[in-house]
């Protein structure tokens, strides 16, 4: 099956879709380093630049089975300003214009959970539904958590899926047919060995300092025990969401002795100390065996192949990894789309009118 990839980034969705049997015919991203990373791992050429400049050229493609991609989410994220008028938020309409030009058998738009659930974005959702129907697509909007699909990370993402014609489908149960056993961080990174060793060389040297005024939560792995936004990772559960802001003191924290030596968790013991009224330790009293997540560990937590090549400075590589859709989650989504396309009776009355864009 043939696909077009938009907002491709480092290629997390592309890995999953190609593993599911799709062949990407064309790809695009704005970021120079992400495009270099994509080109280092795929035979498909990727076009760098503003997608709006390239959409008119997509009419060269016919018989495309699926158009997929994740428009930038910063304007919709609860970690950002949640501004629907953010310039990046307008790119969801660029995605739909690409659907209008290409007329694929299916489309998959990925974004943050808040776009699918918050009342303040209801008008955007209704407009997406209207456009999909106008173009002749049945659709479904679901939120999936990557931890249910073999990804050692709790990461909830929206998937807006359209199928050409009047086919009725429910995407979530179809996707969950391809769910996997939950994996803990330890399961996936232990075999890399300690930070700095042969298979785990790309370390993050940002210093870890203890917060003078910690913010406590019930879990030792929530709240803010350390300065910066990097939270500690519990190796015995899926990790928290890896963000594109990783790098420096925003990179998650690992207790190396707890992970590799089976020692008691320093983070849990310190949290217990604070919860029982103990005073915070001094800023520089974090033990040396607490360190930041490495690039190789982050790559595995996002379920990229071990031999996946990343281009750019370490800060750029962390950003590319954090921005990506976990490959195993993309694989399950792609298999569900294939399954639906394989069983769907496509309508003979496709809507060909391409004049609606003027009204968007």
Nearest-angstrom CA–CA distance, 252 and 248: 9
Q: Is the CA virtual torsion 29, 123, 84, 175 positive or negative?
A: negative
Nearest-angstrom CA–CA distance, 153 and 241: 6
191: CB partners within 8 A, 6+ apart: 199
Closest CA to 298 of 195, 180, 209: 195
| 120 and 114 Cβ atoms separated by less than 8 Å | no
Q: Enumerate the β-bridge partners of residue 157.
A: 112, 144
Q: Is the CA virtual torsion 49, 55, 60, 62 positive or negative?
A: positive
Chain position carrying tokens 């999936």: 144
Token pair, residue 273, equals 């100390």
Q: How far from chain centre, in Å, is Cα 81?
A: 19
Token pair, residue 77, equals 């994220």
User: Helices 122-134 and 91-102 meet at what angle, rounded to 10?
Assistant: 10
Nearest-angstrom CA–CA distance, 89 and 94: 10
What Å distances lie between residue 325 and 231, 302, 329, CA to CA? 21, 8, 7
Nearest-angstrom CA–CA distance, 137 and 96: 11
Burial class (CB in 10 A: 0-12, 13-18, 19+), 150: buried
Q: Is 73 a catalytic residue?
A: yes
Nearest-angstrom CA–CA distance, 138 and 106: 9
3-state secondary structure at position 274: helix
CB atoms within 10 A of CB 281: 17
Options 35, 73, 204, 327, the catalytic residue: 73
Report the catalytic residues: 73
């Amino acid at each position: 099956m043939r696909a077009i990839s938009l907002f491709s980034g480092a290629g997390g969705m592309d890995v999953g879709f190609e593993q599911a049997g799709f062949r990407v015919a064309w790809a695009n991203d704005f970021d120079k380093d992400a495009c270099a990373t994509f080109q280092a791992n795929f035979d498909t050429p990727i076009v760098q630049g503003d997608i709006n400049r390239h959409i008119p050229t997509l009419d060269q493609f016919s018989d495309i089975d699926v158009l997929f991609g994740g428009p930038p989410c910063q304007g919709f994220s609860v970690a950002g300003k949640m501004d629907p008028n953010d310039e990046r938020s307008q790119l969801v309409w660029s995605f739909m214009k690409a659907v209008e030009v290409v007329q694929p058998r299916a489309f998959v738009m990925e974004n943050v959970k808040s776009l699918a659930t918050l009342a303040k974005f209801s008008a955007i959702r209704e407009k997406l539904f209207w456009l999909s129907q106008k173009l002749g697509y049945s659709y479904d909007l679901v939120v999936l958590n990557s931890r249910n699909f073999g990804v050692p990370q709790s990461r909830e993402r929206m998937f807006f899926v359209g199928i050409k014609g009047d086919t009725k489908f429910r995407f979530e149960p179809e996707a969950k047919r391809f769910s996997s056993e939950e994996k803990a961080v330890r399961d996936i990174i232990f075999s890399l060995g300690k930070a700095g060793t042969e298979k785990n060389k790309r370390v993050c040297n940002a210093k870890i300092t203890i917060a003078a005024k910690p913010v406590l939560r019930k879990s030792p792995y929530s709240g803010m025990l350390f300065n910066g936004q990097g939270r500690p990772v519990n190796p015995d559960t899926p990790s928290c969401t890896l963000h594109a802001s990783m790098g420096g003191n925003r990179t998650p924290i690992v207790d190396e002795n707890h992970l590799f030596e089976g020692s008691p968790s320093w983070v849990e013991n310190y949290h217990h100390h604070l919860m029982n009224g103990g005073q915070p330790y001094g800023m520089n009293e974090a033990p040396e065996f607490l360190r930041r997540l490495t690039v190789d560990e982050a790559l595995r937590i996002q379920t990229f192949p071990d031999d996946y090549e990343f281009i750019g400075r370490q800060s750029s590589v962390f950003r590319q990894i954090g921005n990506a859709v976990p490959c195993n989650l993309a694989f399950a989504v792609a298999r569900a789309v294939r399954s639906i396309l394989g069983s769907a009776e496509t309508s003979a009355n496709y809507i060909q009118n391409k004049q609606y864009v003027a009204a968007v």
